[in-house]
Amino acid sequence: MKKRILLTSFTTWLPDQKSNSSDDLLFEVTKLDSLPCDLQFLRLLPVDIGLASAEVIAKIEEDQPDYIVCCGMAAGREKLSVEMGASCGETFLQTPIDLEKLIIGARATDISDDCGKFVCEGLYYSVLNYLGQKQLSSHCVFVHVPVLNQDNLLVILADFVLIINNLALLSNN
């Protein structure tokens, strides 16, 4: 049976932004066929922790994906960054996904322990907390996406597809 993977992205939050790189990347993924999993998309989430979290949790309840890959823009980074976890106050929640295995073979991806202090961390924490509270078998990871351009798009897209493929191979029990 194909793994069900929910992919999420944010909309823009500044008036001068033409797009959000997290959504640009998911748009590129929608053009691909032949991925070994059932991809579901929840694109252009509002840049608001409460609203975005509610939409993602509702989609998790509706579709019951095996994995959730939340994506956000990190304009100051040059590589994809897979986040170890997220904090709220003094509490840190870590993804149970083996990130070293997840990025095997990636060329432009690193593991980060800095999810930022913006809506990205709030959403990641909310989803990890929800999955833990409900004791669901679904697992979540957050990926920060640099600004995409003609020089990095192909390698970033290839690494992101590799991450999706690696998730499809993992056992999430």
pLDDT, tens only, 18-54 = 999 999 999 999 999 878 789 999 999 999 999 999 9
pTM here?
Answer: 0.96
∠ CA(25), CA(132), CA(30), 5° rounding? 20
Q: Which structural domains are found in the chain, ordered by start?
A: 3-169 (3.40.630.20)
State yes or no: pLDDT of 70 exceeds 60. yes
Judge whether 83 and 141 are in contact, CB under 8 Å. Answer: yes
State yes or no: pLDDT of 172 exceeds 90. no
Judge whether 141 and 69 are in contact, CB under 8 Å. Answer: yes
Sequential DSSP letters for 61-100: HHH--SEEEEEEE-TT-SSEEEE-EEEETTEEEE-SS-HH
Task: Give the integer Cα–Cα distance in Å for 12 and 95.
Answer: 26
State yes or no: pLDDT of 110 exceeds 80. yes
Order of strands, sheet of 37-45, starting from the edge strand that comes earlier in the sequence:
37-45, 3-10, 67-73, 139-145, 80-83, 109-112
Task: Give the integer Cα–Cα distance in Å for 30 and 164.
Answer: 13
For the segment 157-170, the average pLDDT, to the nearest whole number, is 95
State the greatest distance between any 2 C-alpha atoms of the chain, in Å, as a whole number: 43
| 31, two tokens | 């053009």
Query: Shortest CA distance to 11 belongs to which of 59, 48, 46, 57?
Result: 46
